[in-house]
Amino acid sequence: MTAKVSCLVENSVIVFPDQLKARIQDAGLATDNVLKIGDDEEDSLLWCPDSSGEFSVKSAFNEIRNQGNEARWCKLLWKPHIHPKTAAKAWKLIKNRVASEKRSQSIGVSLASACRLCMTGEDSVEHVCWHCPMAQRMWSWARRKFRHNREFWSLGQAICRPKEWSPLIQNLWSTTVFSGMVAIWQLRNSVVMGNERIRIEKCQSFIKNQIDIAARMSKANSYRNALEEDILLNWNLRTNHTSRVIKECRWLPPAANVIKANTDGASTDSNSGLGVVFRDCDCNIILTVCKNIGDMNSFQAEYQAIISALEVAVSRGWDKVWIESDSQAAITSFAHNRVPWQMKFRWLKVVKFFTMLQMSTTWREANFSADKASKVALSLTPHILYSYEERPTWLTVCENPDTSYYRFK
Ligand SMILES: [Zn+2]
């Protein structure tokens, strides 16, 4: 392709050929936000790896070394509640730095590989730790203690734990996963080296030991409900139900002539939505908007909700606006003018319009009408902005300035 950008401009508008349009969209950009605001504005370069679009040595370094989010287990392994010796052994297993017959085969040693625990599978980390019937017996014993019934056949599957668990139970679970790998491998070693009898109880007591250490060392030390109390009792751990801190928050109406927009984003595995509820100083809902924004993560959805709220405000001629979101990260980056570069042009286009623009964060507990709107958006036709001039029938409750909302910490 030898064409220049100027070839695409027709009457100050860039007209994209379909092929190019598809590429721009593939890069995560929209064809309506790569434009400058005016012809007099300087062209600028964007450094895509950093969300701000600005180049930094740090982000370049991270880009080169391809840090990425390679392995979720890294974040879970090197923790104070996991004994460093166990963590180091688990790390060796995960990285396949152990003497297995499979590994010997891979470096050219000719031998028949057989798992000593079941005599049917091969002697590899993957088999011994995950697929071997002995390992599966150990894992199902551990799962029962956690009242956790999803089977797993790899580390990736094993470390996916129920989101509703409190941090304490999550810490105990990750300890179980890593120490279980180490335990079963140690059992395999003792059988290979000393022809010892296979006793799964050895694994169980090793895991129990590690769980005791984790419970003592874990920074999180309180549980949430009866089910979690039950899990702790299963492990014979002293239960420590610290009383939770209850915090109060309120939804406040805007001042006269100011429009308040509560925004929220929602996302599922394949879909995401944004919702904005606009209200005036008398707390009337004057407009609700919802949009299904396709496959985005929850952060992106929060940003999209804010920028869409601003665009709608501009289109309605509301120049005094208060944006409230429950995403601290999104509000902070807008407030510090460090908007993700994908949205920078949309932001610059609208921000000049406002004579007053206030931004604040609140808790989900006091932002539930926008939350509802963002969830409704998930089932709408993608990429169409739905506006409700009157209060939508599904918005049965909204924040009341005379009510206190509570968060339990
Ligand atoms: Zn086996």
User: In this predicted model, what pLDDT tens digit does every residue of 244-266 receive, in sequence order?
Assistant: 567 788 999 999 999 999 999 99
Residue written as tokens 């406040």?
252
CA 128–ligand 1 middle distance (angstroms): 5
CA 74–ligand 1 middle distance (angstroms): 26
Q: Is the pLDDT of residue 106 over 70?
A: yes
In tens, the pLDDT along 364-408 reads 889 999 999 999 999 999 999 999 998 999 999 999 999 888 876
CA 185–ligand 1 middle distance (angstroms): 11
> Rounded to two decimals, what is the model's pTM?
0.55
CA 114–ligand 1 middle distance (angstroms): 8
CA 152–ligand 1 middle distance (angstroms): 16
Which residue, among 51, 24, 4, 15, has the nearest Cα to 336 in the 3D structure?
51
CA 358–ligand 1 middle distance (angstroms): 62
Which band of pLDDT confidence, cut at 50, 70 and 90, is reported for residue 71? low
Which residue, among 124, 132, 131, has the nearest Cα to 104 in the 3D structure?
124
CA dist., res. 370 & res. 327, Å (int): 12
CA 341–ligand 1 middle distance (angstroms): 51
In tens, the pLDDT along 26-63 reads 766 666 655 555 666 677 777 777 777 788 888 887 77
The DSSP letter of residue 389 is S
CA 201–ligand 1 middle distance (angstroms): 16
**Residue of higher predicted confidence among 46 and 171:** 171
CA 174–ligand 1 middle distance (angstroms): 23
- Domains of the chain from N-terminus onward: 5-64 (no CATH), 72-234 (no CATH), 249-408 (3.30.420.10)
Nearest-10 crossing angle of helices 341-351, 298-316: 20
CA 8–ligand 1 middle distance (angstroms): 63
CA distances, 16 to each of 30, 364, 401 (Å): 11, 40, 48
CA 129–ligand 1 middle distance (angstroms): 9
Q: What's the number of CA atoms in the CB half-sphere (13 Å) around residue 366? A: 21
Amino acid residing at 149: N
- Decide: 161 and 178 in contact? Cβ < 8 Å: no
CA 154–ligand 1 middle distance (angstroms): 14
45-51: long-range contacts (C-beta < 8 A, 24 or more apart)? 46/341, 46/344, 47/341, 48/341, 50/341, 51/333, 51/338, 51/340, 51/341
